[in-house]
Structure 1
Amino acid sequence: MANKQQQEVIDTISKACAYGDFDKLKSFLEADPACVNAADEQGYFPLQWAALNNRVVETNYLLAQGAAVNAADGTGQTALHWASVRGSLACIETLLRGGADPGLPDNRGYTPCHVAAQYGQTAVLYHLALKWGVDCDTADHDGRTALHWAAYKGFADSVRLLLVLDARHALPDKEGCTPLHWAAIKGNGEACTVLVQGGALPSLSARDVTGSTPPQLAVEKGHRYLGMHLAEVKARAEDAWFGKHGSLAWMNKTQLCPVIWGLILGLLLVFVTKVIGPGPVALPQQPSAAGAAAAAAAAAGDAAVALINSTAAAAAGAAVQLSAAAAMVAGQKPGVHSSSSGASSHRRPAVAAAHPHSAVPGEGGTRAITTAPGTGSSSRQLGSAAGGSSSSRSGSSLFLFNVAAWSVVVAAGVGLFFLHKTTTSDPGFVPTGRDGGRTGEKRLKAAHAAAAAAAGSSGPHSHGAGGLNGSGGSSGAVAGGGGAGGGTAGKGPLLRSGSGGSGCSGSQASLLDCPALWCGNWQQLCVTCKIVRPLRAKHCSVTDRCVEVFDHYCPWVGNTIGKGNRHTFLVFLWLELYALAASCGVAVSQLRGAVLAGAWGERLVWVLAFLVVSGFVSISVAVLAIAQASQVARNVTTNELANWHRYKYLQDGAGGFSNPFNRGVRTNCWEAFHPAATPVAPMMLPREADALGGLGGLAQGVAGQQQGQADELLLPQQAQGGHGAGHRCHGQECRH
């Protein structure tokens, strides 16, 4: 700054105020006290130059020397207008304490709120509304409010704040243009999105004096993609079937939830009726070698060969009977073998072991060892051969088969119960303060109080004017100012007290009086719910509510996954994953038995189809279940992992990913499965609270502000075109 002072000779009081040279300013006033209110050659006052460059010390000195705080230049602008250009909160607070009128318009009807919106000074708008009860929704001479200007200039944060302050988003100006029209004209896509989310959806159909809607104006001005997007949003909203008020609007929320119910129930039905069926797949009864030869010969029509084979078959039967008689002579009953120690054991007949496909004598004739599938209860106890060594399943394998089969049914049924809970439960909706009632207001106030306690104060008023944007300022509590208070009838609860003084009275104002906003975290404002979102919360466009610890919206579940139902969703995934994996194992076992038995029937087709569908579903469910379990163990959400670069609380000092909520696997899992006992996420991190609490002290704040803005100093010769008429983009005969 010293080099610039050497290059520019400070020969007037205006230059002394612009450069912040207090000694020169004092010498000028001592020489001529009347020059405190003397305009320079351009018609601007010293107080305006000091306010423009946030010279707090010089501003205080000028006011103490009798400077007219509401003195207007040739355009009707005061020092408060000039301070609003640069967002000089320290000077704005000083001027307001000195009696400046925040509702005083200039020659075109611009109040300091209009100027702040034109230059994107969101902190100024918030400060004026919350602390001084200023009406930020007044119209200028062309019928345009601060919201019109913020939308036209594309300052999305200012648009967001003004919408939360209940600014009139449907108000047309003299051109018939709403704020959405002006945002579309300039191609400000983010501003258009915020306006639509904040309730300006009906304005998509509003027409200006030329008969054009916002989508049409966007296309006419060369913003083709924005115009197409706005037209698509308009068409979806007006859809008679799936629109906001359409006959099938409920399907926009349920989405694929009926499909997942049908898929699970369908797979379960096929598994029970076709895969399990009457029991394990068994090897069908096959004829002996002689009988097979006889059947083949008979089919060929060779009578001679058939006669020979029939004789051979009779001989084979006689041999079986002789072997049975020999066994009886030896003192053993058919079907009983003696062990190596001589003790009898109840096992399968020795003849069956030697001749697996032969018949065993029994009551009323012979009994086949194996039966074809679907022949009744006997097939439930007899299975297919394992590796061709046995024609039936052992008792242990049959038991395991039954356990695996019915565990699939139980797991799938319990999983459907948790699916129902996930779909119908509260995912952790953040109370809005309006529909949340007193309970919701208490929860939000508790979160605000926790953030304020972490910052070392109970509210923003203890940080002084300069501490609000890091520019420094005087400390101490602020008494009520002489702001232009008073609300406007029919516009809803604005953040104004109705009289001078603090604009923080009322439940809505108290909910927005948050340290996070005083730190400039405007992204935590929700224009739909009109609240300050806690960290980790996000507005769900499908459910149209802010969700605490937002993970994602799952169309298969038909609900948002958040803090309140994240644990039930995880249990559902793992139960269904087990059911799918176990059912695939049972199906593979059945398929193997059918292949070995050569049973290529209709049942095998169902088993194959079930195995293919279940396999593909299992892969997707496994990926989602593992991802969700990993995120719960690390206490991070899907939304945070995908958008961590957008959230400051997930970034370390070097700009890398850093999760401040990771408290170890055990604690993370406990918090996920006990959402009611887990406190609400804070409004700001301790490091941000420390930064806010560390701001204060007039000398340090002013020094930091002057040093930080030394390279951005607005010189007296830069006033013309810098803050004169150059920032006004609409003429008297404006036609877009």
Structure 2
Amino acid sequence: MAEIEVVSSDGARRDGEERPRPGEPDPDPVVDVYSAAAYGDLDRLRGFVEQGAAAALREPDGNGYHALQWAALNNYPHVALYIIEHGGDVNAADHTRQTALHWAAVRGSTSVADVLMEHGARVEAADVNGYRAVHVASQYGQTSFLHHIISKYGADFDALDNDGRSALHWAAYKGNADTIRLLLFLGANQVRQDKNGTCPFSVSNATKVSFEDKYFPGRSRKIGYAPFLFAYLVVCLVLFLNSIVFAPNFSRITATAGLWSWAAVTLFFASQVMFYRVSRKNPGFIKANTKRHDPKEPLMEIDLANSSTWTGNWSQLCPTCKIIRPMRSKHCPTCKHCVEQFDHHCPWISNCVGKRNKWDFFVFLWMGIATSFLGAAVGFHRLWTEPIVLSPSESWIHFMVTKHPGAVLFMFLDVFLLTGALILTGAQAVQIARNITTNEAANRSRYTYLRGPDGRFRNPYSQGCQRNCTDFLINGYSNDEEVAWPTLQQTVQRS
């Protein structure tokens, strides 16, 4: 796209204008109708018109640009309205056939777009490259503007430019994630090729192949690693019983060690019940919109000024489920659902961890720790207290490995499992105390709701360590409804 000149706050000087000498004050940048429109100085603009410069509202400046374009670029709706009411052509185009609406799309000037459209601007006007307002908005990542002209004025988001590229092509090329999400949510064509035979996502789809897609495609990927974990646990149980508790080459087990052994076995079976429960329980799946709906639903029918669900955060749109999901939710590509308070997808339980099963997951981890710890304690006691006679050249470790290989293998597997469970449980405990999910902790730089006005990390959900822990232990999740989010209208006004 041809570069559109942007007026900076310190003023833009025309070609040939002399610059001030050092020490001299800057000259007044508002010297004519065009500069007054660019700087939004309505009083000066009115004065120029009353002095006989009204014709300039209809004619381009020396560079071929119209006053209405300058007002649109810098989002001055009152100036744009004055120009239109005093003879400015709302569809006037420059030498590249770009109109004021094209320029409004550069900065996302939604209020100016309303003025232009209400006075007859053509939303599908195309420049010499075939770029319409939807293309320009996608190139510059102006998602709110794009949504506005599509929902309110019916702009064609699948329109093609002269090279066969749609708004989705441009959003993908520029890497504007929010714009991509909006267009996919609306059902933009993902497979249409441009004149070079390129689809919007052809490059990324050809290069991004995950480990699971490569080695565990299809149904096996959804099953995950839960069968492997179950088999691992069963092997540990068999080794514990055969090589620790009832090992024929060990001395008779004491009553105390036997009691703790059966406690460990009991905990093992209880943890397997919890394992099954956390693997099968709904983690908080949000029902997808499976109907082939009109592009104006559900996003297009939202009252922008009085919406309780839509906060102006484009990550709430799920292009796959076609829903506006609550904050903190995320679409799981493995489970193929959006999950409330999405924490992470755990392949070891073959399920997501979310709002409805995080408490069960946390209890399962603690039961696993307790079982592994008791097993390790009993195993270490049996190995350490076993009476042995070592030769002068033999070490204790060598003796145990050669005489009790099953017990040593159990200890290795059990301690390995215990270490992993402790690390995962510790991370979960810290996040529960902070009321933040694993997904948010790992991607906090991507989520605008986790940043304060100063741009630094800020967690609006945390109510303090004690309250966070109490809510989780009692309810199993935190109540996010207590967080007051701004409406979309307030978000647009701020931006």
TM-score tier by shorter-chain length is: 0.7 to 0.9
Distance 1:85 1:522 in 2: 19
- Residue 689 (structure 1) aligned with residue 486 (structure 2): yes
Distance 1:164 1:279 in 2: 65
Distance change in 2, residues 1:255/1:693 (3 Å): closer
Matches within 5 A, 1:157-196: 157-181=178-202, 184=203, 192=204, 196=205
Shift of 1:46: 2.3
- Residue 27 (structure 1) aligned with residue 47 (structure 2): yes
Q: In the alignment, which residue of structure 1 is the partner of 2:234?
A: 265
Matches within 5 A, 1:595-674: 595=387, 604-665=404-465, 667-673=467-473
Distance change in 2, residues 1:409/1:145 (3 Å): same
- Cα deviation code 1:130-151 (max 9, x no counterpart): 3333221112333221122223
SS in 2 for 1:266: helix
Shift of 1:494: 5.2
Shift of 1:618: 1.7
Q: Is the 8 A contact 2:359 2:477 kept in 1?
A: no
- Residue 402 (structure 1) aligned with residue 258 (structure 2): yes
Shift of 1:510: 4.3
Q: In the alignment, which residue of structure 2 is the partner of 1:507?
A: 298
Shift of 1:413: 0.3
Distance 1:629 1:404 in 2: 27
Shift of 1:408: 1.0
Q: Is the 8 A contact 2:108 2:145 kept in 1?
A: yes
Q: Is the 8 A contact 1:512 1:531 kept in 2?
A: no
Distance 1:123 1:694 in 2: 10
- Cα deviation code 1:274-325 (max 9, x no counterpart): 322189954xxxxxxxxxxxxxxxxxxxxxxxxxxxxxxxxxxxxxxxxxxx
Distance 1:596 1:72 in 2: 96
Where relative contact order (Cα < 8 A, 6+ residues apart) is larger, the structure is 1
Q: 2:441 is matched by which residue type in structure 1?
A: L
1:427 aligned residue (276, 280, 283): 283
Distance 1:512 1:606 in 2: 67
Aligned sequence identity (%): 34
Q: In the alignment, which residue of structure 1 is the partner of 2:147?
A: 126
- Cα deviation code 1:207-245 (max 9, x no counterpart): xxxxxxxxxxxxxxxxxxxxxx34x46x986x6x843xx
SS in 1 for 2:72: helix
Q: In the alignment, which residue of structure 1 is the partner of 2:33?
A: 13
Shift of 1:562: 1.8
Q: Is the 8 A contact 1:60 1:94 kept in 2?
A: yes
- Residue 543 (structure 1) aligned with residue 302 (structure 2): no
SS in 1 for 2:486: helix
Distance 2:309 2:364 in 1: 38
- Residue 86 (structure 1) aligned with residue 107 (structure 2): yes
Distance 1:674 1:102 in 2: 54
TM-score normalized by the length of structure 1: 0.56
Q: In the alignment, which residue of structure 2 is the partner of 1:584?
A: 376
Q: In the alignment, which residue of structure 2 is the partner of 1:291?
A: none
Distance 2:331 2:337 in 1: 6
Matches within 5 A, 1:224-623: 229-230=207-208, 232=209, 242-243=216-217, 249-277=218-246, 282=251, 398=255, 400-434=256-290, 493=293, 495-496=295-296, 506-507=297-298, 509-510=300-301, 521-595=313-387, 604-623=404-423
- Cα deviation code 1:586-621 (max 9, x no counterpart): 223322443269998998443333223222222222
SS in 1 for 2:285: coil
2:119 aligned residue (98, 116, 135): 98
SS in 2 for 1:406: helix
Distance change in 2, residues 1:416/1:51 (3 Å): same
SS in 1 for 2:131: coil
Distance change in 2, residues 1:114/1:4 (3 Å): closer
- Cα deviation code 1:479-511 (max 9, x no counterpart): xxxxxxxxxxxxx64534xxxxxxxxx335347
Q: 2:102 is matched by which residue type in structure 1?
A: H
Distance 2:98 2:454 in 1: 43
Distance 2:450 2:250 in 1: 56
Distance 1:631 1:73 in 2: 56
Q: Is the 8 A contact 1:493 1:508 kept in 2?
A: no
SS in 1 for 2:331: strand
- Cα deviation code 1:617-655 (max 9, x no counterpart): 222222222332333233222233333333333344555
Q: In the alignment, which residue of structure 2 is the partner of 1:463?
A: none
Distance change in 2, residues 1:600/1:74 (3 Å): closer
SS in 1 for 2:201: helix
Distance change in 2, residues 1:541/1:2 (3 Å): closer
Bigger shift: 145-154 or 566-575? 145-154
Distance change in 2, residues 1:658/1:104 (3 Å): closer
Distance 1:68 1:661 in 2: 50
- Cα deviation code 1:674-718 (max 9, x no counterpart): 668865668xx53x628964986xxxx9xxx9xxxxxxxxxxxxx
Q: 1:495 is matched by which residue type in structure 2?
A: P
Shift of 1:178: 1.9
Distance 1:510 1:597 in 2: 83
2:177 aligned residue (140, 156, 166): 156
Q: In the alignment, which residue of structure 1 is the partner of 2:396?
A: none
Q: In the alignment, which residue of structure 1 is the partner of 2:21?
A: none
Distance 1:525 1:24 in 2: 44
Q: In the alignment, which residue of structure 2 is the partner of 1:210?
A: none
Q: Is the 8 A contact 1:512 1:532 kept in 2?
A: no
SS in 2 for 1:543: coil
Distance 1:11 1:600 in 2: 94
- Cα deviation code 1:560-583 (max 9, x no counterpart): 222222111111111121111112
Distance 2:80 2:284 in 1: 49
Distance 1:144 1:62 in 2: 33
Q: Is the 8 A contact 1:433 1:511 kept in 2?
A: no
- Residue 65 (structure 1) aligned with residue 86 (structure 2): yes
Unaligned runs of 5+ in 1: 185-191, 197-203, 205-228, 244-248, 283-372, 374-382, 384-392, 436-491, 497-505, 706-736
Distance 1:73 1:658 in 2: 46
Q: 2:155 is matched by which residue type in structure 1?
A: V
Aligned length: 465
Distance 1:693 1:145 in 2: 30
Q: 2:321 is matched by which residue type in structure 1?
A: C
Distance change in 2, residues 1:86/1:408 (3 Å): same
- Cα deviation code 1:227-277 (max 9, x no counterpart): xx34x46x986x6x843xxxxx22212332112111111211222233221
1:54 aligned residue (72, 75, 89): 75
Q: Which protein has the larger Cα radius of gyration, Structure 1 or Structure 2?
A: 1
Q: 1:554 is matched by which residue type in structure 2?
A: C
Q: Is the 8 A contact 2:110 2:145 kept in 1?
A: yes
Distance change in 2, residues 1:595/1:541 (3 Å): farther
Shift of 1:515: 6.3
Distance 2:161 2:72 in 1: 23
Query: What is the Cα-based RMSD across aligned positions, in Å?
Result: 3.7
Distance 2:227 2:453 in 1: 46
Q: 2:376 is matched by which residue type in structure 1?
A: C
Distance 1:510 1:530 in 2: 14
Q: 2:331 is matched by which residue type in structure 1?
A: H
SS in 2 for 1:411: helix
TM-score normalized by the length of structure 2: 0.81
Distance change in 2, residues 1:671/1:99 (3 Å): farther
Shift of 1:162: 1.6
Distance 1:113 1:56 in 2: 20
Distance 2:313 2:401 in 1: 67
Shift of 1:540: 2.7
Matches within 5 A, 1:107-146: 107-146=128-167
